[in-house]
Structure 1
């Protein structure tokens, strides 16, 4: 079982028993997910993250510090040996399906028909198929066919 991502000891959870709320406490602001997205797309340095997102330097420094403290990013010495770089941890990489699902929702609902946008493709150049949750028997799951057990 992977190690749990942690929160700073001085802050409480929004909803201690809800995995969605805890996740949002960790990565639920706009900038954190954009930093994670860019790390998935190869960004490693502070300068790269700043250039790709346009985020203010002080906000970026804060997000990188928090994402590192919570175990989603790790710092290591760059191959040049002259600076530190940020890399995704296993916990950060586990957010890939979340980012893909957000991207696909955005493609369907955040653009007008025909409006240009980026597209996620696989290693063969094909568009990544839609992420659709399915049950153990292969049936498609949705809010009407699932419930939360507390």
Structure 2
């Protein structure tokens, strides 16, 4: 008898990184979102550009619609077909993809350089994402930025010594 492995849900964890990973679920989801930012809107176009199985793509698009990152808009009635359009929540994910792209360019590009560059239309320059403090504009790094419990941290966990130690400092 084959044992079924269930994926652990991080949806209720007191961590926005864990909750985001729970929403993403796998590597296909950010790639589907990337394609949406490239202007892909139709199922067949997603499938062709990604080379993804139809059932996998159906599942990822359904999940992104349920989570409010994409909206289904009918463009044909016989048979019914939909465009998948980024919502405000979906468009807000762009910064996540830019930071992932920047990291990949720095650490995974070969000698030829980055496979894709980003042009900032406001200044007309090819550039890359930087994570900066919204309050002062200075770069945020692992050396100068530390987590603290926020107002949404569950009180019953905040009392645990191991949790207090994690947020000490």
Tell me the TM-score range normalised by the shorter chain. Answer: 0.7 to 0.9
Moved over 3 A (4+): 122-125
**What TM-score do you get using the length of structure 1 for normalisation?**
0.82
Compare 114-123 and 97-106 and name the one that shifted more: 114-123
Structure with the greater alpha carbon radius of gyration: 2
Q: C-alpha distance in 1, partners of 2:71/2:134? A: 34
Match of 1:48 among 45, 48, 52: 45
Counterparts of 2:25 and 2:103 in 1: how far apart (Å)?
A: 16
Displacement, 1:21?
0.3
Partner of 2:144: 145
Question: Which residue pairs with 2:117 in the alignment?
Answer: 119
* Alpha-carbon distance between aligned partners in 2 of 1:135 and 1:69, rounded to the nearest angstrom: 30
Q: Is the Cα–Cα contact under 8 Å of residues 105 and 114 in structure 2 kept in the other structure? A: no
1:47-81 deviation line (CA, Å, top 9, x unaligned): 11111111111111110011111111110022x66
**Which residue of 2 is the match for residue 61 of structure 1?**
58
**Maintained 8 Å contact 2:131/2:139:** yes
Q: Which runs of 5+ in 1 are unaligned?
A: 1-10
CA distance in 1, matches of 2:119, 2:110: 21
Q: 1:77 to 1:104 in 2, by over 3 A?
A: same
Flag structure 2 segments of 5+ consecutive residues without an equivalent.
1-7, 150-169
In the alignment of these two chains, the number of paired residues is 139
Q: Which residue in 2 is equivalent to 1:128?
A: 127
Over 3 Å counting, the alpha-carbon distance change for 1:23 and 1:38 in structure 2 is same
Match runs of 1:1-150 below 5 Å:
12-13=9-10, 16-78=13-75, 83-115=81-113, 117-123=115-121, 126-134=125-133, 136-150=135-149
TM norm structure 2: 0.73
Contact 2:10–2:21, Cα closer than 8 Å, also in 1: no
Q: Which structure has greater strand proportion?
A: 2
Once the two structures are superposed, residues 117-146 of structure 1 have per-residue CA deviations (whole angstroms, 9 ceiling, x without a partner) of 122223375313432323623332211111
